[in-house]
Chain A
Amino acid sequence: MQLVLPPGLSTRRFTRALAAFEGVVGREWVLATDEDRETYLDIYAPGDERAHAPAAAVCPSSTEEVQAIVRLANEYRVPLWPIARGKNFGYGGAAPAMPGTVVLDMTRMNRILEVDAKLGYCIIEPGVGFFDLHDHLARNGIPLWMGIPGNAWGSVIGNALERGFSSSPYGEHCSSLCGLEVVLPTGELVRTGTGAMSNSATWPLFKYGFGPSWDTLFVQSNFGIVTKAGMWLMPEPEATLSMNLRVPRPEDIAWLVDTLTPLRLQRVIEHNVGITSYMGSATLSSQRVEWHEGKGALPDSAVKAIMEKTGAGWWNLSLRLYGLPEVNEAHRALIEKAIAPHPDVRLAVTRWRRGEPHNAAAAPRPSVFPLQIVNWHGGRGGHIAFSPVLPADGARVLEQLARTRQRYAEFGIDYSGTFYICGRHVINVNLMLYNRDDADLTDRTRRLFRTLVTDAAAAGYCEYRTHLTYMDDVARTFDFNDHALLRLNETVKDVLDPNGILAPGKSGIWPRHLRGRRT
């Protein structure tokens, strides 16, 4: 893949910068061949993946090496795009927002530094993946459970910093972070919370420290590089109880949201509840051609066939109860009473107790099988998701569903939605699947995405996380007082990162000299 240089850099100066990086990490860990650059492209890009082409990658093995690289990047004016493991699939993978950026790949920083079974936390580096941490806990018989997202190939810290989530009591992964070590854009090292004390005894235990709390400054931002983090883990419960539900009609989503939200707020249900359409089953186990060969969105006949053959409802969800068996049974009774008025709900219950063999109600295990969805259309598959945040209100959720399905139909895209009840709000993940070699399909997908951003913003709904290509679009929807938040973000950016070397364009935040690149 042809080299795209960082803006304003000559080939000669860029070559010198790479040589300087080699002086820090060794020649082996500066990856700058055509093939190397290709490995950091977004394999699932909804369009030309070279729109986010990296110039090279540099792979440190320690915080000190990250600091040294950042200082050199300032000296040579080389933009850096930090990645933990680069598995941010559906959002850009390992690729940078701005072409010509050098990827700072922390895959080699994969140490599990501390795990405390008594107080339920770990301190880890960015390269630690969900499989790594799960493996460590299992191998050492440590009775702590992790929140694990659908695609578990990625980094525990990286996922949390992107506000990833899962359906477990510790499923708000960002909320489980406690204590960050951060390399600032100048190369200076800081620790947040009580980690700012050189002999802190509570860094991974107490989030706030004294005075302002800075942790969220480094979430979905380009203000620093997190090189270590404390992460709270869930003590293994005495027992669990799983309740799988399905309902037959699209409009049942309003009833589900209004029925389950009170139970979520009362903490009868302690996790985010994902309510997934029939497409969840279909995309995991089959391809589109098995149901429908025509263009345009799947017809109702195909939807009916999917539900009949896979046994899925129009909506499907799994509730889990964690704790003492007696408490779980009491909560199960409350849930069953709440859902009893619905004549068509189907319920299956599974129980697990500590020490019993693994089953569907036991501790979650990491998997990458959900990536199977990208094969829906065949060919070189890809996916992106538009995920607005709504009030947890059935009527508004139903409106959102109707509007979104209408848009999918207009653009001829198969609707695939999940509504996550997260307490007072609902995150509505709208998945778009495509064959990257089908130019018409990917074009329609891109146009659908931008239409959905506009529709949601008009309704007052923001997106919680987005693909590289749409970061400026989504940032623009935060328009109160003529985009005052973006001005604040970029004021902070210019102070912390005066040379603008860290992740230009991340979350729509551009350094002063590159703001003309905003799309």
Chain B
Amino acid sequence: MSAARLIAGFFAFALQVAMATHAYGAEPSAVEIGGKAIFRTKCGVCHMAGGTGTFMLERRLGKSQALLEERRDLNAAFIARVVRSGIQSMPRFSRAELPDRELQAVAEYLARNSGGS
């Protein structure tokens, strides 16, 4: 895929992000916010279609493994560890940026198709 197409794909996604509502403010529970919404607002900028994380995962693991939301082999504990420790070139997320309850919701959301967490 060309860089131009990738960037165009990213911009399409950025529009989705721009139209989304950020999960800031009164800190409702993870259940209320939902792992999907948190993932899309705090992780999606890199890990949805056209994102730099998706690009690198496709390079490393192949197209079928590139989009985290479609993966069927993710373990919630592994996701939590990666988010806090980083992996390859992915930066770490502190608890200020992604509190434990939000991280748990994201991890459970991404592991939902993987037969348990």
A interface, CB within 8 angstroms of B: 28-29, 31, 35-36, 38-41, 43-44, 57, 59, 85-87, 89, 93-94, 105, 107-108, 110, 131-132, 134-135, 138-139, 153, 281, 284-285, 287, 310, 358, 365-369, 371-372, 374-375, 379-382
- Report yes or no: A132 in contact with B22, Cβ–Cβ below 8 A: yes
- Report yes or no: A381 in contact with B89, Cβ–Cβ below 8 A: yes
Verify if B112 is at the interface (C-beta below 8 Å from A).
no
Contact of B92 among A38, A107, A134 (CB under 8 A): A38
- Report yes or no: A368 in contact with B45, Cβ–Cβ below 8 A: yes
Would you mind naming 19 contact pairs between A and B with Cβ atoms under 8 Å apart? A31-B95, A38-B85, A44-B89, A85-B97, A86-B97, A87-B91, A132-B24, A135-B18, A135-B19, A135-B20, A285-B6, A367-B7, A367-B45, A368-B51, A368-B52, A369-B10, A369-B55, A371-B46, A372-B52
Residue-wise, chain B 35-64 has the 8 Å CB interface mask toward A (1 for contact) of 000000000011000111001100100000
Verify if B78 is at the interface (C-beta below 8 Å from A).
no
Residues in A with CB closer than 8 Å to B88 are: 375, 379-381
Residues in A with CB closer than 8 Å to B18 are: 131, 134-135, 138-139, 365
Q: How many residues of B contact A (CB 8 A)?
A: 36
Q: Give, as a whole number of angstroms, the nearest-CB distance from A207 to chain B.
A: 29
- Report yes or no: A367 in contact with B91, Cβ–Cβ below 8 A: no
Complex Cα spacing A89 to B26, Å: 29
Complex Cα spacing A43 to B2, Å: 28
Residues in A with CB closer than 8 Å to B95 are: 31, 36, 39
- Report yes or no: A372 in contact with B94, Cβ–Cβ below 8 A: no
Complex Cα spacing A285 to B56, Å: 10
Complex Cα spacing A374 to B56, Å: 11
* Among all A-B residue pairs, the 8 with the closest Cβ atoms: A285-B3, A39-B94, A381-B89, A59-B96, A39-B92, A107-B96, A138-B18, A374-B89
Verify if B28 is at the interface (C-beta below 8 Å from A).
no
Contact of A57 among B10, B52, B94 (CB under 8 A): B94
Verify if B14 is at the interface (C-beta below 8 Å from A).
yes
Contact of B94 among A36, A44, A365 (CB under 8 A): A36
Complex Cα spacing A40 to B85, Å: 10
Complex Cα spacing A252 to B98, Å: 47
Residues in A with CB closer than 8 Å to B51 are: 368-369
Q: Give, as a whole number of angstroms, the nearest-CB distance from A432 to chain B.
A: 15
- Report yes or no: B94 in contact with A31, Cβ–Cβ below 8 A: yes
Q: Give, as a whole number of angstroms, the nearest-CB distance from B8 to chain A.
A: 9
- Report yes or no: B96 in contact with A35, Cβ–Cβ below 8 A: no
Residues in B with CB closer than 8 Å to A138 are: 18-19
Q: Give, as a whole number of angstroms, the nearest-CB distance from B106 to chain A.
A: 15
Residues in B with CB closer than 8 Å to A287 are: 59
- Report yes or no: A367 in contact with B14, Cβ–Cβ below 8 A: yes
- Report yes or no: B3 in contact with A281, Cβ–Cβ below 8 A: yes
Residue on B nearest A378 in the bound complex, by CB:
B88
Complex Cα spacing A54 to B86, Å: 17
B interface, CB within 8 angstroms of A: 2-3, 6-7, 10-11, 14-15, 17-22, 24, 45-46, 50-52, 55-56, 59, 84-86, 88-89, 91-97, 99
- Report yes or no: A285 in contact with B52, Cβ–Cβ below 8 A: no
Q: Give, as a whole number of angstroms, the nearest-CB distance from B29 to chain A.
A: 14
Residues in A with CB closer than 8 Å to B7 are: 284, 367, 369
Residues in A with CB closer than 8 Å to B92 are: 38-39, 41, 43
Residue on A nearest B2 in the bound complex, by CB:
A285
Residues in B with CB closer than 8 Å to A86 are: 94, 97
Known: A281-B3, A358-B11, A381-B89. A40 touches B52 (CB 8 A): no
Residue on B nearest A281 in the bound complex, by CB:
B3
- Report yes or no: B6 in contact with A369, Cβ–Cβ below 8 A: yes
Residue on A nearest B18 in the bound complex, by CB:
A138
Q: Give, as a whole number of angstroms, the nearest-CB distance from B104 to chain A.
A: 14
Residues in A with CB closer than 8 Å to B50 are: 369
Residue on A nearest B11 in the bound complex, by CB:
A365
Known: A43-B91, A59-B96, A380-B89. A139 touches B10 (CB 8 A): no
Contact of B55 among A366, A367, A372 (CB under 8 A): A372
Residue on B nearest A285 in the bound complex, by CB:
B3
Residue on B nearest A379 in the bound complex, by CB:
B88
Complex Cα spacing A379 to B56, Å: 11
Residues in A with CB closer than 8 Å to B84 are: 35, 38-39
- Report yes or no: B96 in contact with A31, Cβ–Cβ below 8 A: yes
Residues in A with CB closer than 8 Å to B22 are: 132, 135
- Report yes or no: B10 in contact with A367, Cβ–Cβ below 8 A: yes
Residues in B with CB closer than 8 Å to A105 are: 94, 96
Residue on A nearest B55 in the bound complex, by CB:
A372
Residues in A with CB closer than 8 Å to B56 are: 372, 375
Residues in B with CB closer than 8 Å to A374 are: 89
Residue on B nearest A383 in the bound complex, by CB:
B89
- Report yes or no: B89 in contact with A40, Cβ–Cβ below 8 A: no
- Report yes or no: B86 in contact with A358, Cβ–Cβ below 8 A: no
Contact of B3 among A107, A284, A381 (CB under 8 A): A284
Q: Give, as a whole number of angstroms, the nearest-CB distance from B9 to chain A.
A: 10
Most chain B CB neighbours (cut-off 10 Å) among A138, A139, A368: A368
